[in-house]
Chain A
């Protein structure tokens, strides 16, 4: 089955290149959705901007860093509190938001003085914080404000602070993916190897591409602690600015999110010879496999097996309870990109769930190679989907639950289809063994929730009967 032109796309036939329905005996050599391409005029997709990819996804996670957004207030507000990445130091990164609050006069006369004043004010207000990332946004990039020069001046005036600049305005790429790339490459070019980390173990690694969504990083850290592996830097979950400056000293880079952070892993391999190991941190069998690979690399296989046995003893029966009740559930995943290939097989193997449609906001063609290789036949694989397509796909595949963000989640709730927050989670963490039981619990609660059926009842219409609940909760 080649690429699909949905009925709703009849006036924008170019969308056919972006939607694939997998049939038997086909593979990515024949059919691969075009991805990481400009959104087609006429389709209102749900992509974020390049600045958002840098700030919201990666930089804003750090727990000890001021995020100075040089632009109008909206750029700051709209990338604040929309992701849940707690920290172990009181959630500094989520409590505060910083903006230079550019107004028309600053756009007309230049915003560099405004930026310098804002940076100094922020450091004065927070004397314990000595690290900052400054971001350009669309207007400040268009008027040509030189944020690197301002950062240099502030660092000269304040010798105890360190500032990193990200020049990645919203318009600079087709999606948030561009921001990931710019921050990754900027960091390795300017900051890696500017500080020597203290080495406390014979086994050292960086954990790259997990952002401590509802505690993912902190949960996985308990595994690395038990294995005696020192994580030099988390890129960037529960991470610190200075730890990321010492990434060059790790023996191994373990990569979970290869889309947002594969770039820095590639560069660390090229420049420092550090091998890159890609793993999946979601799912029982995947997590066990990842731990086994890491332990095999370090030659500590027995420790790994002990840990896996302990975790299985604690969590496997709970997972199986959910698997029994979720087998055959039809799931759609409409998220950023990597969670499509991280989840499609793990929910199938560990929970008996069939993933029937997947849409990626900012995945590249590499992500589609991965997900089509792993995913089921008869499943739709969509790049940069839009709302009308989502409605049509729902009609075609009839999902029982959709993993997506709150915006699209609100849409599907109106159709009385439950959604689980696939970005920030409902009740995470979702990574690791305990985490996947959490994911199973939230999926179960969504699928079996009777309220969504009752939401469709209109008592003004006597001819309608109360809907039959297909699934009775256990």
Chain B
């Protein structure tokens, strides 16, 4: 499988399952994308995710379920090393930011009432 196809798989999963990518405001979305994917990276590398703040605990909860689902759906994910994982997650992050923030046509993302 080429890298682009793997990123497409991960992106498809997030689109289908993850409500955190579509929070109300630009900064919420950025915070969630960064926070969850950081925890996903830690879990894929078998590192202990940080859980010393409420937000880190929240992103850990989202990431834990996501990693478990992804490994079940995509067996190729089980054997990847830390470098490939980072490249994959950077690619996924770029796709998510492009879709949910940069090129989102949602007119409320920066609304003053939100």
Contact = CB atoms under 8 A, between A and B. Distances in A.
Interface stretch (B19-27, B73-81, B82-90): B19-27
B61 A293 contact: yes
A29 interface: yes
Contact of B65 (A251, A262, A266, A293): A293
B104 A29 contact: yes
B99 interface: yes
Contacts of B21: 373
Contact of A369 (B16, B60, B106): B106
B2 interface: no
A275 B108 contact: no
Contacts of B19: 258, 278-280, 370
B57 A297 contact: yes
Given A262-B24, A364-B108, 9 more contacts: A28-B105, A258-B19, A263-B24, A277-B58, A277-B62, A278-B19, A297-B61, A370-B22, A373-B16
Contacts of B61: 277, 292-294, 296-297
Given A28-B105, A289-B65, A293-B65, A374 B16 contact: yes
A459 B78 CA distance: 66
A292 B23 CA distance: 20
A36 B106 CA distance: 11
A111 to B, nearest CB: 29
A420 interface: no
B100 A365 contact: no
A122 B106 CA distance: 44
Nearest to A369: B22
Nearest to A185: B113
A27 interface: yes
Interface string A324-352: 00000000000000000000010000000
Interface in B1-42: 15-17, 19-25, 28
Interface in B45-78: 54-55, 57-58, 60-62, 64-65
B112 interface: no
Interface size class of B (residues with CB under 8 A): 20 to 34
Contacts of A366: 22, 24, 106, 108
Interface of A: 27-29, 32, 36, 181, 251-252, 258, 262-263, 266, 273-280, 289, 292-294, 296-297, 345, 364-366, 369-370, 373-374
- 9 nearest A-B residue pairs (beta carbon): A296-B61, A275-B58, A278-B19, A373-B15, A365-B106, A29-B103, A297-B61, A293-B61, A275-B54
Given A266-B24, A369-B22, A373-B15, A296 B104 contact: no
A200 to B, nearest CB: 20
A374 B15 contact: yes
A105 to B, nearest CB: 37
Contacts of B20: 278
Contact of B100 (A262, A275, A293, A369): A369
Nearest to B105: A32
A292 B28 CA distance: 22
A274 B54 contact: yes
Nearest to B59: A275
5 contacts: A252-B58, A274-B54, A289-B17, A294-B61, A373-B15
A28 B105 CA distance: 8
Contacts of A345: 16
A289 B64 CA distance: 10
Contacts of B107: 365
A289 to B, nearest CB: 6
A296 B108 contact: no
Nearest to B60: A296
Contacts of B58: 252, 275-277, 297
B108 A27 contact: no
Contacts of B108: 36, 364-366
A226 to B, nearest CB: 19
A18 to B, nearest CB: 13
Contacts of A262: 23-24
B106 A266 contact: no
B55 to A, nearest CB: 5
Contacts of B16: 345, 373-374
Nearest to A31: B105
Contacts of A263: 24, 114
A293 B114 CA distance: 26
Contacts of B54: 251-252, 273-275
A293 B67 CA distance: 12
A274 B100 CA distance: 23
Contacts of B65: 289, 292-293, 296
A291 B21 CA distance: 19
A131 to B, nearest CB: 27
A282 B32 CA distance: 23
A27 B22 CA distance: 14
A372 to B, nearest CB: 9
Contacts of A280: 19
Contacts of A279: 19
A258 B58 CA distance: 17
A275 B57 contact: yes
**Interface hub of B15, B17, B22, B60 (most chain A Cβ within 10 A):** B22
